[in-house]
Structure formats: structure tokens, C-alpha cells
Amino acid sequence: MLNARGAELDVDGKFGRLTEEAVRNFQRQNDLDEDGVVGKDTLGALNADHETSEGQPLGPDKSSGQQATSKPPDYFAYRDKPLGASAVKDLVSRHGRNVMIGVDPTYEGWQATDRAAKEAGARRHVYLEGPGGPTGDKWDPEEKQRVVRAARGQGIDTSRPGWMKEWNSTGWKNHTHDQLKDFKKQGFESAEIDNLYRGLGDSPRRLVDFYKEYAGWHSQGDVPSLLMKNVDKPQMQAVVEAVNRGDLPRSMFSDYAIWETSAGPLEGQERLARQLGIRTLVSDDTYNYAARGQF
């Protein structure tokens, strides 16, 4: 049952360390006590999750008044260093074509992964750096150079002191919009924008305001659906309230979100996201970003 959700364990009848880690990961994603024990509550959640994936598409709570726009992917797989064509074929063989394959265009070789996804009829997701930012206290030199080139492309004079402030204020958004339009034309279904905190801060209001702007792009068919990444509890609460008020359309968002453990522990934002029919995947990898899992 855990393997059906992407655990990839050997079926040997033994409950070892890897199995316990898979159980804990499932418990964390489903807001259960993270004790690594398949007790009554965990087993019930596994069975319920199985019934949902085998039956109707996962939708939001009826109390939210929102409707899911399409069947969510059965499996999501992303790694910044390309998965490769053989891995894509293996995933589609095991999970079917309703698999979402993610790529990072900043890494050489991503085209082969994406081409394999298209040929297999899988769904496609793209990672974008957004404003960019350091990992820890240091910028990756290649990422910094990409930001410099992107800023120049937006008419920002990077030889001036303080040019990064202009980039963080407006440049990144215009550049990212151009990228989103291009990847939409290429047929990508969803996109995530990293490092939004550098351009928007941690303010729930500013995040919702940006999402409203994104909603306008999305309504025009310009951009893919948006994957929410590292949205904390106050921000997610503001998003849910905005959707319920009709200020944001549910259809602009993907059916899943990603939370990196480097951003801290989950504090209930995953429960709020579920009110909109959005499931949360937890990524434990920061320096070599990767996320995968069964819905």
C-alpha cells in the first residue's frame, strides 16, 4: 500500500528502517501522529487515500464551495538534476500516464526528460527560479549569473550599486511572466516559482496580491496553473479566504503544493490547503531539490 504511494520498498514482509521512514512520511503528509507505527488512524488514512485515488478525482472539501477542475495527477516526480528518459518511462510504466513529470530548465539535459514525458503522454511541470536567491548564506555562482542576465534582459543596469533591489522589486516578475508564457506555449500544465519571499517578503497580503495578478494572466490563458511552494500557515489561510470570497479562482492553482523541510516544520498549512482540494508533498532535499510522491 505504501509502494502505491511512491515509497518504492522491497516487498519482503519485513518492517525495517526504510518502511518506518515511508510510514512517517505518509503520516506527516496526512497530519497524523508521526510515530512510524501503522495504527488504526494511519491504516484508515491509507485505505481512504487508496479509495480516493481509485475512485473519483480528489476534490476540495464540500464546505469550501470550490470545485476541482480536473483529475489530479496520480504521481508527481521532480528532481532539479534531470530524471532522464529511462526514469520517465519507468514511472509511466508503473503508475500510468497520469504522472506529472517536473523539469528544471536551468540544468543541462532537461530537454531529454521533457521529451520522454511528452512521448509517453505524461503531464508536465516546470520549476522557475523567480527572484533567485542564496542557498544558506551563499549564492550559487551559476544562479547569480542567470539572475544578472535576466536582469539585463529587463533593462536593469547591473553595473550600478543596488541593481538587485530593482530586480527584487519588479524585474523578476516581468522576467518570470515571460518564462511562464513561453512554457505555457510548450504545453506545460503547471509551474512553481521559487524564492518568492525575496520579492514579496512573508506578508500574506502581498502574496495574495501577487496571486491576483497571476490569476489575471491565467484567465487569459497565458500561463500554466500555479503550484504553491513553501506557503506558510498565515499565507495559506489568506489564500483560502481569498478563494472562498471569490477574490482568487481555485482553477489557477495546481492540485498539489510542495513544502521543503528547510523552511521549517508544517504547522497546519497542509490542512488548510486540503480545504481547496490541494495535497501537500514534503521535500526533504534542499541542496539537490527533489520531490516525489503518490496522491
CA dist., res. 153 & res. 269, Å (int): 36
Architecture of the domain defined by 63-294: Alpha-Beta Barrel (3.20)
At residue 108's C-alpha, the angle toward residues 104 and 112, to 5°, is: 80
CB 157 within 8 A of CB 203: no
Residue 139 burial (10 A CB sphere; 0-12, 13-18, 19+):
middle
- For the chain, the domains span 1-55, 63-294
pTM over 0.85: no
Transcribe 221-273 into DSSP letters: T-SPEEEEES--HHHHHHHHHHHHHTSS-GGGEEEEEEEEGGG----SHHHHH
Lowest mean pLDDT among 38-47, 71-80, 89-98, 161-170: 38-47
Which residue(s) pair with 192 in the sheet? Answer: 127, 227
pLDDT reported for residue 261: 86
Tens-digit pLDDT profile for residues 171-215? 999 999 999 999 999 999 999 999 999 999 999 999 999 999 999
Residue 269 burial (10 A CB sphere; 0-12, 13-18, 19+):
buried
pLDDT over 70 percentage in the chain:
79
pLDDT reported for residue 116: 96
CA 54 to centroid of chain Cα atoms? 23
- For the chain, the first-to-last Cα distance in angstroms comes to 12
Decide the pairing of beta strands 290-294 and 75-79: antiparallel
CA dist., res. 198 & res. 293, Å (int): 28
pLDDT reported for residue 65: 36
Banded pLDDT at 6 (limits 50, 70, 90): very low
Transcribe 25-94 into DSSP letters: HHHHHTT---SS---HHHHHHHHHHHHHHHSSPP---GGGT----SPPPSEEEEESS---HHHHHHHHHH
